[in-house]
């Protein structure tokens, strides 16, 4: 019997561990009965529980040390979170890092900051807004060479809106913009790597959601479900890139990381609820490791989904090659129709 892949994710393991032990500590309390003793043992139990839980949430580590001086790496969305940590680490390893960020001035400022943080690494900032196909094209035209493309930028929106090209904004940013950027850079990426930062959230997609026109969400928008769909599309994109062109493309879940800016568009109470998950989450440094693993390690497997610095089984829907092909065709058609 195959266990569900979610049961191997550090945050799920940690959640189960904490829930079981919470009840365990109550039982210990009742068994001991004598109150000073039971309080003492319960505190000891909780302390031990947090210590073990810390080990569970960290997950596997990948700390690259081999220098990559002749490599050019492009990272989308490096103002904060995972993208920023990866940019810093890759610059430290000697790569030329190009970061794509909204606004030229802002991009240059962040590039300078990351260069300083990496103690003098080469970091260049270019304007990139993934929600505009024209902007993506302008960005791609500035790129001479690329060895590793990290499609990291991501957004979470709670209300329905469309981009300048008339595409639903969340899907446009997370999926369509990255798809277009990869297509434009593909001739220069034949021997390189493409890394798509997807999410565990792709498990939430139901077959009924698989309409990429997103008409189904127009009247009743469900931000998390559109986010999940865009992340599933990124898994399809990576597997199809490898299948169609033989490009080394990888998709991944970085872990649950509370201290990034991803939740900023969410209502206050949802953000607070998300903070509670910090007990089962990773730090940004730990959360950047699977991206670095897919970008650099020989143990990463092209076309596959990764989590916790190893290949991991994705959802059944994500493994469906017919649906991956369909997603590719529909995204390609959408870009042809909208790109000028």
Instruction: Give catalytic residues, as residue numbers.
Output: 221
194 φ, ψ to 5°? Answer: -120, 130
Give every strand in the sheet of 72-76, ordered side by side: 122-127, 96-101, 72-76, 148-151, 193-197, 248-253, 305-307, 310-311
Angle at which helix 223-245 crosses helix 321-338, to 10 degrees, equals 100
Binding site for ligand NAP (CB under 6 A): 76-83, 102, 128-131, 152-155, 173, 197, 199, 253-254, 256-257, 260-262
Cα–Cα distance list, 338 to 68, 132, 165, 183, 215 (Å): 37, 10, 6, 15, 17
Query: For residue 124, what are its two tokens?
Result: 């260049």
DSSP 8-class letter at 190: T
| Nearer of residues 45 and 235 to ligand NAP, judged by Cβ | 235
CB of 41 or CB of 221, closer to ligand NAP: 221
- Least separation in angstroms between CB 67 and ligand NAP: 25
Return the number of the residue (261 or 329) whose C-beta is nearest ligand NAP. 261
In total, the chain counts a number of residues equal to 340
Q: How far is the CB of 82 from ligand NAP (least distance, A)?
A: 4
Which residue of the chain is nearest ligand NAP when measured via CB? 81
User: What is the nearest approach in angstroms of ligand NAP to the Cβ of residue 34?
Assistant: 43
Placement of tokens 């969400």 in the chain: 217
| CB 81 to ligand NAP: min, Å | 2
Closest to ligand NAP by CB, 153 vs 292, is 153
Q: How many CB atoms lie within 10 A of CB 229?
A: 28
Determine the Cα–Cα distance for residues 291 and 297; give it in Å rounded to an integer: 10
Considering the complex, what minimum distance in angstroms separates the CB of residue 328 from ligand NAP?
Answer: 19
Listed in sequence order, the DSSP H helices in 98-222 are 104-117, 133-141, 169-171, 177-185
Q: What is the DSSP letter of 310?
A: E
Our CB check for ligand NAP shows the closer of 197 and 247 to be 197
């Amino acid at each position: 019997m195959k266990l569900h892949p979610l049961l191997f994710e550090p945050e799920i393991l940690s959640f189960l561990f904490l829930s079981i032990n919470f009840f365990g500590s109550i039982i210990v309390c009742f068994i001991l009965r004598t109150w000073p003793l039971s309080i003492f043992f319960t505190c000891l139990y909780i302390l031990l529980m947090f210590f073990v839980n810390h080990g569970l949430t960290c997950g596997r580590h990948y700390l690259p040390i081999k220098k990559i001086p002749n490599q050019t790496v492009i990272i989308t969305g490096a103002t904060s979170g995972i993208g920023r940590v990866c940019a810093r680490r890759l610059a430290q390893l000697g790569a030329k890092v190009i970061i794509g960020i909204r606004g030229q001035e802002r991009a240059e400022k962040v590039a300078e900051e990351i260069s300083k943080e990496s103690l003098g690494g080469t970091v260049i900032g270019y304007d990139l807004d993934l929600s505009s196909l024209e902007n993506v094209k302008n960005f791609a035209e500035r790129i001479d060479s690329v060895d590793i493309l990290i499609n990291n930028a991501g957004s979470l929106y709670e209300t329905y809106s469309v981009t300048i090209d008339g595409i639903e904004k969340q899907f446009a940013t997370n999926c369509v913009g990255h798809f277009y950027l990869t297509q434009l850079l593909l001739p220069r990426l034949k021997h390189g790597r493409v890394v798509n930062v997807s999410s565990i959230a792709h498990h939430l997609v139901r077959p009924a959601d698989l309409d990429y026109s997103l008409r189904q969400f127009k009247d009743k928008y469900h931000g998390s479900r559109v986010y999940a769909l865009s992340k599933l599309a990124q898994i399809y994109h990576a597997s199809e890139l490898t299948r169609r062109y033989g490009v080394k493309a990888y998709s991944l879940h970085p872990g649950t990381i509370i201290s990034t800016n991803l939740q900023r568009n969410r209502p206050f109470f949802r953000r607070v609820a998300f903070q509670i998950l910090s007990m089962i989450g990773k730090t940004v440094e730990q959360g950047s490791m699977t991206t670095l693993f897919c970008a650099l390690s020989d143990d990463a497997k092209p076309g596959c989904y990764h989590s916790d610095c190893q290949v991991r089984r994705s959802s059944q829907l994500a493994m469906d090659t017919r649906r991956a092909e369909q997603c590719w065709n529909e995204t390609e058609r959408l870009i042809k129709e909208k790109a000028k």
